[in-house]
Structure 1
Amino acid sequence: MIQRDVIVIGAGAAGLFCAAQAGQRGRSVEVLDHAKKVGRKILMSGGGRCNFTNMYAAPENFLSENPHFCKSALSRYTQWDFIGLVNDYRIPYHEKTLGQLFCDDSASDIVSLLMSECKKGGVTVTTRCEITAIEKLDDGYIVNTSLGQYQCESLVIATGGLSMPKLGATPFGYKIAEQFGLAVLPTRAGLVPFTLPPELKTPLAEISGVSQKVRAGCVNTSFLEDMLITHRGLSGPAILQISSFWEGQDVELDLSPEEDLHADIQQARQNQPNQTLKNYLATRFAKRLAETLIEVLSFDNMPLKQLNEKQLSNVADTLHAWKVRPSGTEGYRTAEVTLGGVDTNALSSKTMEARDVKGLYFIGEVVDVTGWLGGYNFQWAWSSAWVAAQYV
């Protein structure tokens, strides 16, 4: 039987950071993970450069049944605290857009930082370790594994969500929560591309790879970013963002969010009355997109002078508010995060400890707190890990 003060299950962003911080407080800590190597999701994040936080991270950038839950952790360990740590390690980074901070070189720089922090805290990190059962004692826990038994006072669940099963994602954390009587809210894929019904998918697949700046909206929320047309449907930052809010309804796409097409198309008719609608649209969009829009939106491709006011207005209205009903999403296979998870009502926002189960903590993505695209989910990992580490 191996004795530790703290066992952390999950060697991802939250698990490693919590272990490092707890170890540096003088606790004896071991991290257990079933994967072959640590931080697999970190390594592939941000195109291999890890969007490790966002300069503008704030509670309103997170989705949860209880939107207030994340406030305490985010205020006590902020993006500036983690940026300070990155600076301490002299990791070069840059802002890509909208406050998103990426490593200049490689996501492995962040994994190296976490492992160095663990080393400072005397943390043992054990991979290829299957957890077979967890038992509660009066004063702690027994963790049964493929490598033997562990006993600890505090048990931290940092197992992540269901997204990207190829990287080892499993529902293990939710099962532990249920074992100890904590509610788990329904989960679904977030920050995920949309799939489309055949009548849209087929023509759009022909122009796979075309990108367009849009404002994508539903449920009184919208995001102004790029949309990417794929052979399966729609992706790109605007689509990934709105996917977390989507529950089966229409998504409204403003294809010209920064220009008034009503005025522009009237001006074009005056200046070039013989120009066809397709050729006009090709001055505003990529040529292939313009041609496809004519087809899928059933516009009459006539010279502008032959289109009356009502027809021109309809073209502008439609392009500013194209209603698309996705057939679904690509699911956990490509989702960046999992919405839902361990009910925050069962946890202390101050400590991340289960209210009714002493010594049991849940941090990171396994909890019902999900950030927007752009480094927010890593910040939740750092913040929730840090606060738990002060109490384990």
Structure 2
Amino acid sequence: MAERYDVIVLGAGAAGLMCAARAGQRGKRVLVLERAEKPGKKILISGGGRCNFTNIGSGPANYLSQNPHFAKSALARYTARDFLELVESYGIAWHEKTLGQLFCDGSAKQIVAMLSEECAKGDADVRCGEEVASVEHDGDFTVATQTATYTAPALVIATGGPSIPKMGATGFAYDLARQFGLKVVEPRPALVPLTLGGEEVLFREISGVSAPVVASAGKASFPEAALFTHRGLSGPSILQASSYWSPGEPVVVNFLPGHADGWLLDAKREMPRATLKSLLRDALPDRLADILSEKLGISTELGNAPDKELRAAEDRLRRWEFRPNGTEGFAKAEVTVGGISTAELSSKTMEAKRIPGLYAIGEAVDVTGWLGGYNFQWAWASGVAAGEAL
């Protein structure tokens, strides 16, 4: 005999727990099914174990989607300040890092404990270690696991995307969406390190070196650190740019974000005996300065270098093109770009337009945030939107 609920939420991650808590506290009988042995596994590893739980500057401009307007409604109705109030109501100490990023002073476990307590307040039944075997829809939704069968008039897809498969992540949300005839925007890894090949393999020799830069892909630019790795490029600015990068396109790096235009010509007048390598060593880590000056090929003293050559060198340092041959894939991606098409969903409720009672939230949907707490804010906001509508 199937157990009956008002709502079945698939996935006990950030979005699923938030949705279950809100729906439960509104009087709905909620079941959460999670295949992992405990809830909130991605929350626990986020932010180096301290959970970058939101970004105080979160807004629609910080998200990628085929419909850039879709996220506006949910983000406006449940803001970073709203989540911060919840965090503070539990006495969880927090701090702000760079660029509006908010972290727990203590541990990400505090956020999972808070969400679990919020679910308990609404009597939501959270069951872990439950692998979904099948989902059927015949008026109601019937979900079978290896141990039991459950039915409900509403089903919420909150199983995330395929990023970080070692945490148990899969493309299950997309399979389910396709089963119900919902379009899926082709998923690809995002916030992911980029790999270099060809002549650019030289840069692998400085693996471990990082520098403050501005990295650009497409029309998006991000001023933060870039890190050279044994496979290519990483660091916050590169991870951000990777979400906007398309295969075959360059990633453009400005190695001189803190220097005024004409810096090299000024240096030539003030320090004609200096070399490009020594000047770059003052501005950048030595090993990076050495490889850049070697590639620029100016070995003479600045006073002996033609102005035209120095202008060209500076221009290249401000617009250094790397041509990645790929990414490190879903295994190293923090999130997924793409997912269940927003064209299929109500931006107000997250409900499928053509299938009443079916909802999709969080990373399963084609809404992807920047690095720095934005994806959690989308999880909270979309979870609340669905939880209020159920």
Report the TM-score when normalising by structure 1: 0.97
In 1, the alpha carbon distance for the partners of 2:292 and 2:75 equals 43
Paired residue for 2:143?
143
Q: Which moved more, 1:86-95 or 1:278-287?
A: 278-287
SS in 2 for 1:159: coil
1:323 matched residue in structure 2: 321
Map of 1:383 onto structure 2: 381
1:306 corresponds to which residue? Answer: 304
Aligned to 2:162: 162
Give 1:391 deviation, angstroms: 1.8
Name 2:334's counterpart in structure 1: 336
TM-superposed deviation, 1:78: 1.0
Q: How far has the Cα of 1:282 moved from its partner?
A: 0.8
Could you tell me how far 1:303 is from its partner in structure 2? Answer: 1.4
Aligned CA-pair RMSD: 1.1
Shift of 1:261: 5.2
Query: 2:351 aligns to what?
Result: 353
8 Å contact from structure 2 (residues 136, 142) kept in 1: yes
Preserved CA contact (<8 Å) 2:217 2:242: no
| 8 Å Cα contact 1:35-1:129 kept in structure 2 | yes
Q: Distance in 2 between matches of 1:60 and 1:281?
A: 35
What secondary structure does 1:175 align onto? Answer: helix
| 1-structure distance, mates of 2:286, 2:80 | 42
- Indicate if the aligned counterparts of 1:299 and 1:315 stay in contact, CA closer than 8 A: no
- Whether the 8 Å contact between 1:13 and 1:39 is mirrored in structure 2 is yes
Distance 1:175 1:363 in 2: 15
One-letter amino acid of the counterpart of residue 168, structure 1: G
Aligned residues: 388
* TM-aligned CA deviation for residue 217 of structure 1: 1.1
Equivalent residues of 2:296, 2:313 under 8 A apart: no
2:27 is matched with which residue? 26
Is the contact between residue 155 and residue 357 of structure 2 (CA under 8 Å) also seen in structure 1? yes
Matching residue's letter, 1:218 = A
Alpha-carbon shift at residue 270 of structure 1 (Å)? 2.5
Q: Which residue of 2 aligns with 1:180?
A: 180
SS of equivalent residue, structure 1 residue 98 = helix
Q: Which amino acid aligns with 2:146?
A: S
Matched letter for residue 227 of structure 2: L
Amino acid at match of 1:378: F
| Counterpart code for 2:266 | Q
Inter-partner Cα distance in structure 2 for 1:298 and 1:72: 49
| CA–CA distance in structure 2, aligned partners of residues 75 and 281 of structure 1 | 45
Alignment of 1:278-317 (within 5 A): 278-295=277-294, 297-317=295-315
**Aligned-partner Cα distance in 1 for 2:254–2:246:** 19
For the residues of structure 2 that align with 1:380 and 1:117, how far apart are their CA atoms? Answer: 18
For residues 24-70 of structure 1, what are the alpha-carbon distances to aligned partners after superposition, in whole Å with 9 as ceiling and x for unaligned? 11111111011111111101111111110111101111111111111
Q: Which string of whole-angstrom CA distances, capped at 9 and with x for unpartnered residues, describes residues 64-90 of structure 1?
A: 111111111111111111000001001
Q: Could you say which residue in structure 1 is the equivalent of 2:70?
A: 69
Q: Match of 1:38, SS?
A: coil
- AA paired with 2:118? E
Q: Which residue of 1 aligns with 2:90?
A: 89
1:116 corresponds in structure 2 to 117
Alignment deviations for residues 240-277 of structure 1 (CA, whole Å, 9 cap, x no partner): 11111111201111111121252x22232233322222
- The 8 Å contact of residues 163 and 169 in structure 1, kept in 2 or not, is answered as yes
Could you list the per-position Cα deviations for residues 157-190 of structure 1 after superposition, in whole angstroms to 9, with x for gaps in the alignment? 1000010000011111111111111101111001
Report deviation, 1:142.
0.8
> What is the identity, as a one-letter code, of the residue corresponding to 1:158?
A
Q: Following the alignment from structure 1 to structure 2, what is the Cα–Cα distance between the partners of residues 169 and 390?
A: 27
How many angstroms apart in 1 are the aligned matches of 2:71 and 2:276? 50
Gaps of 5+ in 1: none
* Aligned-partner SS, 1:390: helix
* Separation in structure 1 between the aligned mates of residue 198 and residue 46 of structure 2, nearest angstrom: 31
1:313 maps to a residue whose letter is R
For the 8 Å contact 2:337–2:367, the answer to whether it is kept is yes
One-letter code of the match for 2:280?
A: L
Mapped to 1, the partners of 2:58 and 2:282 lie a distance apart of 37
The alignment-based identity, stated in percent, is 52
Alpha-carbon distance, 1:209 to partner: 1.5
Give the secondary-structure state (helix, strand or coil) at the position aligned to 1:332. coil
CA distance in 2, matches of 1:95, 1:274: 45
